[in-house]
Amino acid sequence: MKRLLLAFTITALLSACATTTSPTGRRQVVGGVSQAQLDQLGAQAFAETKQKEKISTDARQIAYVQCVVNALVAQLPSQYRGVRWETAVFADNEPNAFALPGGKVGVNSGIFTVAKNQDQLAAVIGHEIGHVIARHHEERITRQMGAQTGLSVVGALAGAAYGETAASAVNQFGGMGAQTLFLLPGSRTQESEADVVGQKLMAEAGFDPAQAVNLWQNMMAASGGRSPQWLSTHPDPANRIRELQRDAPALQGVFQQAQAAGRKPRCS
């Protein structure tokens, strides 16, 4: 009976998944969780982070980050524009940032030591939002769900696949921890894709895409030529810079059109 239940559960789980195409044309397997469940998990991870980390009270920095986020969000597909995006600045010297499903953006104050202007900050945040709109979190969870072998774990995940509430999904995934699910770096493929998506997004929002190159050059200079710890699973820094340099000229037209249309962010 247990073997039959396990086989049925795995079949149900796989049938809930779907193959789709990412913004860059890459094949993805998603569908392990619903959008409502994904948003709830993102909200939980964000709440956990705010409880554990010291939140900055610097009103200028908070407004600066919110301004950049607002400009980027205005260019997102409609399902993401309709979300009320919440931001938080954390008093942490590590130059880091993240974005989560459900419209959550976190930025460490240390990012301002390497993001020297609004365009460079948009490169960082655009990259992180790129993970969200490219469905990388959903892709990662779906992959992790498929890798589970224990009957109790698979049974719980199948319950989520059958449409239980987002709150139930949070409880089911609670053993993994929302922060673990969402805040660990993605694969190098996902990181490279987020670079492409984020650089295009910043250009559409009226930020200079060439500044993405300067941002990562600043990042490497600040770390003494070594990749910072939070970039350990990202593409090779030199390759990343070359790819951003390669794509920037083609995006200058997008940037100029955005500026001509009145999209001229004034955040700094």
pLDDT tens track of the chain, all 268 residues? 444 444 444 444 555 567 888 887 888 877 878 889 889 989 999 999 999 999 999 999 999 999 999 999 999 999 999 888 999 999 999 999 999 999 999 999 999 999 999 999 999 999 999 999 998 888 888 777 665 533 344 444 334 333 444 334 444 444 445 445 554 555 778 888 999 999 999 999 999 999 999 999 998 888 765 555 445 555 677 788 899 999 999 999 999 999 999 999 999 7
In a domain, 4, yes or no: no
Classify the C-alpha dihedral 244-105-180-35 as positive or negative: negative
Structure tokens at 234: 């990202």
In a domain, 214, yes or no: yes
| Burial (CB count <10 Å: 0-12, 13-18, 19+), residue 93 | exposed
Query: Residue 103 is part of which domain span?
Result: 36-135+185-260
- What separation, in Å, do the N-terminal and C-terminal C-alpha atoms of the chain show? 63
- Residue listed under structure tokens 């498929």: 146
In a domain, 213, yes or no: yes
In a domain, 89, yes or no: yes
In a domain, 99, yes or no: yes
Global confidence as pTM: 0.79
Q: Can you tell me the distance from the alpha carbon of 109 to that of 92, in angstroms, rounded to the nearest whole number?
A: 6
Contact 128, 186 (CB under 8 A): no
Q: Can you tell me the distance from the alpha carbon of 197 to that of 110, in angstroms, rounded to the nearest whole number?
A: 24
What is the tally of structural domains in the chain? 1
Q: Which residues are catalytic?
A: 128
Specify the length of the chain in residues.
Answer: 268
**H or E element in which residue 139 lies:** helix 136-147
| Burial (CB count <10 Å: 0-12, 13-18, 19+), residue 6 | middle
In a domain, 198, yes or no: yes
In a domain, 52, yes or no: yes
pLDDT, position 210: 97
CA atoms within 13 A of residue 59's CA, in its CB half-sphere: 0
In a domain, 266, yes or no: no
The dihedrals phi and psi of 117, each to the nearest 5 degrees, come to: -150, 175
Give bridge partners of residue 106 from the DSSP assignment: 88, 98
Alpha-helical (H) ranges within 162-264 are 166-173, 178-183, 188-204, 211-222, 237-260
Q: Can you tell me the distance from the alpha carbon of 174 to that of 172, in angstroms, rounded to the nearest whole number?
A: 5
Query: Could you tell me which residues come within 8 angstroms of residue 153 by beta carbon, excluding any fewer than 6 positions away?
Result: none
Contact 121, 65 (CB under 8 A): yes
